[in-house]
Amino acid sequence: MADRLQILIAQRDPTTGDLRGNLGEARAALAAAGAQGADLAVLPEMFLSGYQLQDLVRKPAFGRACAEALAEIAAETRPGGPGLLIGGPLHEGGRVHNALFLCADGAVQAVSRKHERPNYGVFDEKRTLDPGPLPEPITFRGVRLGLLICEDAWEEPAARALAAAGAEILIVANGSPYERGKHEGARMADMRARVAETGLPLLYVNMVGGQDDQVFDGGSFVLDAEGGRAVQAPFFESRDLLTIWTREGEGWRCAPGPVAPTPSDHEADYQAICLGLGDYMRKSGFRQAVLGLSGGIDSAIVAAVAADVLGPENVWCVMLPSRFTSRTSLEDAAEVARLIGAKLDSLSIASAVEATGQELAPFFAGTESGLTEENVQPRLRALYLMALSNKFGHLLLTTGNKSEVSVGYSTLYGDMAGGYNPLIDLYKTRVFEICRWRNANHRPWMKGAAGPVIPERVISKPPTAELRENQKDSDSLPEYPVLDAILERLIEGDQSVAEVVEAGFERETVRKVERLIYIAEYKRFQAAPGPKITHKALWLDRRYPIVNRFRDPS
């Protein structure tokens, strides 16, 4: 019977479908475990294949490639050397499982199949994966380990079954995406509940990195049998962390180690946005970004994020003025570019707007000028920006915040055009707060300049699209604090119109906002992806029909 076990938490960042790259990361974790004297290295859920896989997981050719990669890494474990616990898909008998494989002594020694399949929010595993049986403990170096795969630890049955069957330590392999407040809220509460129910200590290994619209925040940790936090890995970065376990009486205890602080909500949001953008670009093969810099707050913070992720030398800001662009906007865009150290060019759309108007004049004869003519401007800006992106291989970043995207205050094939939107899950009021946080804070991982990067005038001036004379956003929408409060109730809270009115908002305003949300669904269906920050992001968390005549009668 062993009395000591050393386990390396390998909190690392896989790339979906990159089996060779992920094998390289697994080899590095195995080597780190050997160098630090660990008995076992533990990687996150579905690490071998990347996560989430969606329908790729059911492709037979992909399943065969994953099996070959698993056999390769298993063969590299050596007798007397560290074992490796790695997640990946398992194709067997026409079924596909989310599995966890124990590799040791040159072979796969044990397999645990995920029992619970999440089917809410961004998860769709009941559609793509088959359930495994309730898990049983596996024995490794004389210790009975209870293996749980993400959702298995968020529900009771699997952990209870493992404890009843004699497990001594619970190990949870996770691909748990970031949501604001989730770590110290639901994540810690549920893991402490499993500890309380079983009386067993728990080691939780979480993935880190961005995948499409999801960001995995890391923050792996160990809870002792009383629910206390023995160690915690940093957030939003790859990190190996050695944990040392000893048998004390009838149970096991992890020696206290580093406990990285949990970042504030504003810092965590900013890190999630940056990691999401950085991984989206790196994993897609982009190294440089281009964006339209308008002199407004949204494009300013996107430029700052891009500079922090890529370095300012890899960020190309383009001002695309029309005859409605104010001198203030020109000055503010120039100051933002100067502060972040990015290249700024000016490319006027004025002559193109005039030429387009002349060409359309015969068709528009007898009609009043209005929104159609205004929307020609952002669409021409998109034409120019996409041309620059296409010609020079830069990823075009869009800059619409969640408030605008929610109510359709954006132009399809205009300012919505691009490859990635860092702000898509941040309401406008949150954008203001994030700007002030970034101005006051700089971290070692940031490649952008220290100090304020968003001029105060950009933060404090009234928002405007500048598509007509003296235009302000508030001409078309409620003031953003009011709009965002209503949106949070209608979207995040799923409240009725009556409930929002009872909270103190004018019925006419609430009905207008509800209508705008519904009729903008077709725009969101075509929007660029961006990082999920809240529990109700506008893509996979909130799925509504495009054609929808329902309006709340309350």
The residue type at 399: T
- Cα–Cα distances in Å, from 356 out to 352, 397, 536? 6, 25, 40
pTM for this one? 0.94
- Residue 404 within any structural domain of the chain: yes
Same domain for 378 and 468? yes
Amino acid at 32: A
DSSP string, 33-59: HHHTT-SEEE--TTTTT-S--GGGGG-
Note the pLDDT of residue 472: 79
**CA pair distance 40, 9, nearest whole angstrom:** 9
Asked whether 60 and 13 are in contact (CB, 8 A), the reply is: no
pLDDT tens per residue across all 554 residues of the chain = 679 999 999 999 999 999 999 999 999 999 999 999 999 999 999 999 999 999 999 999 999 999 999 999 999 999 989 999 999 999 999 999 999 999 999 999 999 999 999 888 888 898 999 999 999 999 999 999 999 999 999 999 999 999 999 999 999 999 999 999 999 999 999 999 999 999 999 999 999 999 999 999 999 999 999 999 999 999 999 999 999 999 988 899 999 999 999 999 999 999 999 999 999 999 999 999 999 999 999 999 999 999 999 999 999 999 999 998 899 999 999 999 999 999 999 999 999 999 999 999 999 999 999 999 999 999 999 999 999 999 999 999 999 999 999 999 999 999 999 999 999 999 999 999 999 999 999 999 999 999 999 999 999 998 877 777 777 777 888 999 999 999 999 999 999 999 999 999 999 999 999 999 999 999 999 999 999 999 999 988 898 989 998 899 88
The 3-state DSSP composition of the chain as helix, strand, coil percent (nearest 5) reads: 40, 20, 40
357 in a structural domain: yes
- For residue range 509-522, what is the model confidence (pLDDT) as tens digits? 999 999 999 999 99
Query: Tell me, what's the pLDDT at 1?
Result: 61
Asked if residue 551 belongs to a domain, the reply is no
Same domain, 173 and 240: yes
- Domain range for 210: 4-258
Count of domains forming the chain: 2
Is-catalytic flag, 523? no
The residue annotated as part of the active site, out of 25, 66, 103, 114, is 114
Token pair belonging to 8: 């390396």
Mapping DSSP to helix (H, G, I), strand (E, B) and coil, where does residue 401 land?
A: coil
Q: Please, what is the Cα angle at 377 between 372 and 381, to 5 degrees?
A: 140
Compute the Cα dihedral for 62, 65, 71, 72 and give only its sign. Answer: negative
Is 531 within the bounds of a domain? no
Select which of 150, 274, 317, 435 is catalytic.
Answer: 150
Residue in the block written with tokens 């180690």: 257
Query: How confident is the model at residue 536, as a pLDDT?
Result: 93
Match 């990361």 to its residue by tokens: 25
Looking at residue 469, its pLDDT comes to 79
Indicate whether 157 and 199 sit together in one domain: yes
254 and 401 in a common domain? no
Exposure string of 230-243, with b = 16+ CB inside 10 Å and e = fewer, is bbbbbbbbbbbbbb
Edge-to-edge strand order for the sheet containing 289-292? 343-346, 315-319, 289-292, 395-396
Q: Indicate which CATH number applies to the domain containing 421.
A: 3.40.50.620
Domain-embedded: residue 518: yes
19-35 helix and 60-75 helix, angle to the nearest 10 degrees:
20
Catalytic-labelled residue, pool 25, 45, 125, 404: 45
Among 367, 360, 329, 370, which residue's Cα sits nearest to residue 346? 329
Residue type, 173: A
Phi, psi dihedral angles at 65 (to 5 degrees): -65, -40
Q: Looking at the structure, do residues 322 and 173 belong to the same domain, yes or no? A: no
CATH number assigned to the domain comprising residue 195 = 3.60.110.10
User: Which of 144, 159, 220 has the alpha carbon at shortest distance from 188?
Assistant: 220
Residues 51 and 78 in one domain: yes
Asked whether residue 231 falls in the same domain as residue 317, the answer is no
pLDDT at position 41 is 98
Residue 63 placed within a domain: yes
| Structure-block tokens of residue 216 | 């995995």
**pLDDT, tens only, 9-48:** 999 999 999 999 999 999 999 999 999 999 999 999 999 9
* Helix H or strand E segment including 198: helix 188-198
The domain boundary residue, chosen from 203, 229, 258: 258
Cα(376)–Cα(370) distance, rounded to whole angstroms? 11
Distance in angstroms (rounded) separating the CA atoms of residues 261 and 504: 38
479: which 2 tokens?
A: 């003031």
Active site residue 103: no
Residues 376 and 479 in one domain: yes
For residues 98 and 22, state if they share a domain: yes
- Catalytic residue flag (residue 59): no
Helix H or strand E encompassing 84: strand 83-92
Residues 336 and 239 in one domain: no
Q: Is residue 361 part of a domain?
A: yes
What is the rounded distance in angstroms from the CA atom of residue 29 to the CA atom of residue 86?
10
Pairing of strands 143-149, 208-211: unpaired
Same domain, residue pair 175 and 306 = no
- Whether 115 and 232 map to the same domain: the answer is yes
Q: Is 47 left (phi over 0), alpha (psi -120 to 50) or beta?
A: alpha
Residue 86: CB partners within 8 Å, gap ≥ 6?
26, 43, 47, 48, 70, 73, 100, 101, 103
Cα(155)–Cα(498) distance, integer angstroms: 34
Structure-token pair, residue 123: 């998860």
Give start and end residues of each alpha helix (H) in 326-448. 327-340, 350-364, 371-392, 402-407, 428-440
**530 in a structural domain:** no
Q: Are 202 and 195 in contact (CB under 8 A)?
A: yes
Q: What pLDDT, on the 0 to 100 scale, is given for residue 465?
A: 77
